[in-house]
């Protein structure tokens, strides 16, 4: 089953039910939007349902991230042994303490932060169930028992970044912990809070970024693996027919193209997409379908899945790359966003700039999905 085949939507686009769109497409959606292309046109061009386009753009505007949310897993437990222990301590210290006071103290003492502090009702439950009558210390937990030592290294943390909460505070504290994934290098980077960037305009801030990009461009290659393998890319996408530019961003885009691992290959007949999809060399085992050419850079492949490396490291690349020109395929579109696009392009000779900027922007993202 590795090869889950993708399905084709009404627009002729390929997707995998239940799975996020490849990052390349997500990125492209945002880029196009930045260029001023209307969502409906983006939908048609990329062959992604407008609901999806709307969702991705909305999320981007809200969080600054193009990445999908963390899939699967359980929510982090808030009432860790450590928290329970503290609650118990507070209660013992002051039997008359109110749950809300305990809550405040947990925050004040740094036991929890505002994102993982238990609700008042949870605290009440803890007092009732786990601690029993505080008065009687023996309750459920042995205080001294250090059993609970702090095993819970801020459970939240990991999640935080995963979920990409705009969690400013977290980061810091978290710092220590994030390393959750063993395999994964901790790319500090992803910790970045999406929020921090200037939202929309960051994108527009092209110039600055551009520069940045260039530099990074080079880098891109280096890290290549950055994206969690999971996130995929459709090579094809990259090339979408954007009238825009054909220019070769060549190399870069490759990176962009990371292959998505799980994406299934489109059925042969499939439109444009399939074209690019040449099944590349990937070991199919994980990879699938969409993956194309990217292979090259995917090299390490497989398990790499798990290593989230830094998120979009390559983004740089991608952003730019995107427009690689492939002639035909897309041409198929109905009528390519006529004016909008044209106009846009025209207007900016440089063309892709915006995109670039975006890429840069994206940079900050964290890669939630990668979850371990």
The site for DNA (CB under 7 A) is made up of: 4, 9-11, 13, 15-21, 26, 38-41, 48-52, 54-58, 68-77, 155, 163, 230, 262, 371-372
Of 341, 273, 339, 263, nearest to 31 by C-alpha is 341
Backbone torsions φ then ψ of 68, nearest 5 degrees: -75, 165
Closest CB 13 distance from DNA, rounded Å = 5
- Alpha-carbon distance 12 to 210, whole Å? 34
Q: Which is nearer to DNA, 39 or 292 (CB)?
A: 39
Closest CB 93 distance from DNA, rounded Å = 29
Q: Which is nearer to DNA, 19 or 344 (CB)?
A: 19
Exposed/middle/buried for residue 145 (C-beta within 10 Å: 0-12, 13-18, 19+): exposed
Closest CB 294 distance from DNA, rounded Å = 18
Q: Which two tokens stand for residue 43?
A: 């939908």
Kindly report the number of other CB atoms within 10 A of residue 188's CB atom: 12
Q: Which is nearer to DNA, 102 or 184 (CB)?
A: 184
- SS3 state of residue 240: coil
Q: How far apart are the first and last CA of the chain?
A: 21
Q: Which is nearer to DNA, 70 or 107 (CB)?
A: 70
> Contacts by 176-182 with C-beta closer than 8 Å and gap 24+?
177/153, 180/372, 181/306, 181/307, 181/308, 181/372
Q: Which is nearer to DNA, 184 or 249 (CB)?
A: 184
Closest CB 69 distance from DNA, rounded Å = 3
Closest CB 15 distance from DNA, rounded Å = 4
- Alpha-carbon distance 245 to 243, whole Å? 6
Q: Which is nearer to DNA, 134 or 341 (CB)?
A: 341
Residue pair 304/297 in contact by the 8 Å Cβ criterion: no
Closest CB 197 distance from DNA, rounded Å = 19
């Amino acid at each position: 089953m590795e090869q889950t085949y993708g399905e084709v939507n009404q627009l002729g686009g390929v997707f995998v039910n239940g799975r996020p769109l490849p990052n390349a497409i997500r990125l492209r959606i945002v880029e196009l939007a930045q260029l001023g292309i209307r969502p409906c046109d983006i939908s048609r061009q990329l062959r992604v349902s407008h609901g999806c386009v709307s969702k991705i753009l909305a999320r981007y505007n809200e969080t600054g991230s193009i990445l999908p949310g963390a899939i699967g897993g359980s929510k982090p437990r808030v009432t860790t042994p450590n928290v329970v222990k503290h609650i118990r301590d507070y209660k013992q210290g002051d039997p008359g303490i109110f749950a809300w006071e305990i809550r405040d103290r947990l925050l004040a003492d740094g036991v929890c932060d505002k994102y993982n502090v238990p609700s008042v009702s949870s605290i009440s439950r803890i007092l009732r169930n786990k601690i029993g009558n505080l008065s009687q210390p023996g309750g459920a937990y042995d205080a001294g028992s250090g059993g609970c030592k702090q095993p819970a290294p801020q459970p939240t943390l990991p999640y935080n970044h995963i979920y990409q909460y705009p969690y400013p505070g977290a980061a810091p504290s978290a710092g220590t912990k994030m390393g959750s994934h063993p395999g994964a290098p901790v790319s500090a980077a992803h910790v970045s809070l999406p929020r921090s960037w200037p939202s929309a305009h960051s994108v527009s801030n092209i110039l600055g970024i551009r520069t940045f990009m260039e530099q990074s461009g080079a880098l891109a290659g280096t890290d290549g693996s950055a994206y969690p393998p999971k996130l995929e890319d459709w090579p094809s996408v990259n090339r979408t027919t954007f009238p825009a530019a054909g220019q070769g961003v060549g190399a870069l885009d490759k990176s962009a193209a990371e292959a998505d691992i799980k994406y299934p290959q489109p059925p042969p007949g499939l439109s444009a997409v399939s074209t690019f999809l040449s099944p590349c060399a990937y070991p199919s085992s994980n990879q699938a379908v969409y993956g194309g050419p990217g292979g090259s850079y995917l090299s390490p492949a497989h398990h790499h899945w798990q290593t989230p490396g830094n998120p979009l490291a390559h983004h740089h690349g991608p952003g730019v790359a995107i427009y690689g020109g492939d002639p035909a395929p897309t041409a198929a579109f109905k009528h390519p966003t006529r004016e909008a696009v044209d106009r846009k392009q025209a207007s900016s000779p440089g063309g892709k700039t915006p995109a670039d900027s975006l890429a840069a922007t994206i940079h900050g993202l964290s890669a939630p999905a990668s979850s371990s």
